[in-house]
Chains A and B, each alone.
Chain A
Amino acid sequence: MSDRVLPLKALAKSGRYGASTSAPSVRLQVLHPMGLVTVIARKGKSKSVQRALSNLQDVTVMDAGIDQWYVQGPDKKLATTLKQQLAETASVIDQSHGRVTLRISGPKCRAVLAKGTPVDLHANQFAIGQSAMTTMAHVGIHLTRTADDEFTLSVFRSFSESFWEWLTASAAEFGYHVS
């Protein structure tokens, strides 16, 4: 079995970058390898799929469109498990390799993201657990708020390098560290 190789391994090296401040206000992490699966409810099965997804353990279920979700979990046969559990009620499509997931956190994480998306990310407008599909720096992204000052986002793998370059350029004025 071959190990999965991260597309950003050359670019996303650990360290502190950007403006030198006492403490970097932005933290960037590449979450890899992740299990990420698209689930689309079949006709008339939306409610039953939602119920089934809400009963899953150890995964994060995120809205990804009408009757559509991303299920994120550790990289272990997630798609196979979901196919078994959802059977004919949903289409289950593995996207674990097709998307790269990043985490951005810290007091200035919103200021960085606001350079790229028109979605209002204010803490009162975008709740923890809420997701948005939007465009950031001309690249389609899926964005989820995971904690007070923390978001995860995923992009198509082919865009990941280009996107990382924009993201780090935008974070530079605040000082950021990559881990």
Chain B
Amino acid sequence: MLIPCPHCGIRPVEEFTFLGDAKPQRPQSNDPATMDQWFDYVYLRDNPRGLFDEYVHHSGGCRSWMVVTRNTETHEIKACVPARDYKKKQS
């Protein structure tokens, strides 16, 4: 699989490490009443067939964290954006 790193260009998957679903966002509050949100954030994950946003680290390259949008069925990569830009889009 080839990943289009925004900084380095197209590189093979061996240069990257994967963390998992980028959609769940870290809750903001430390209020105990929000514990359910924290459980979901730490443990609940979807496993979609189709498009999937995933945290990817270019550990063997520029060390940027990115979010790759990939079709889990066809492995087609639709997008790859820096993690900070993804976060901006989500909020």
Interface residues of A (CB under 8 A from B): 64-66, 118-119, 132-135, 140
Do A133 and B14 touch (CB < 8 A)?
no
Tell me the B1-57 residues at the A interface (CB within 8 Å): 7-8, 11-12, 14-15
Residue on A with the closest CB to B84?
A: A66
Apart from A65-B64, A133-B8, A133-B62, 15 more pairs, CB < 8 Å: A64-B62, A65-B7, A66-B62, A66-B82, A118-B12, A118-B15, A132-B8, A133-B61, A134-B8, A134-B15, A134-B60, A134-B61, A135-B14, A135-B15, A135-B60
B interface bracket (residues with beta carbon within 8 Å of A) = 10 to 19
Beyond A65-B7, A118-B12, is A140–B64 a contact (Cβ under 8 Å)? no
Beyond A134-B15, A135-B14, A135-B15, is A66–B7 a contact (Cβ under 8 Å)? yes
In the assembled complex, the Cα of A66 lies from the Cα of B63 at a distance in Å of 9
In the assembled complex, the Cα of A132 lies from the Cα of B15 at a distance in Å of 12
Q: Which residues from chain A contact B63 at a C-beta distance below 8 Å?
A: 65, 133
A82 to chain B, nearest CB (A): 21
Residue on B with the closest CB to A125?
A: B9
Q: Which residues from chain B contact A140 at a C-beta distance below 8 Å?
A: 60
In the assembled complex, the Cα of A135 lies from the Cα of B14 at a distance in Å of 9
Residue on B with the closest CB to A134?
A: B61
Q: Which residues from chain B contact A119 at a C-beta distance below 8 Å?
A: 11
Do A65 and B62 touch (CB < 8 A)?
yes
In the assembled complex, the Cα of A119 lies from the Cα of B7 at a distance in Å of 13
Q: Which residues from chain B contact A135 at a C-beta distance below 8 Å?
A: 14-15, 60-61
Beyond A132-B8, A133-B8, is A66–B14 a contact (Cβ under 8 Å)? no
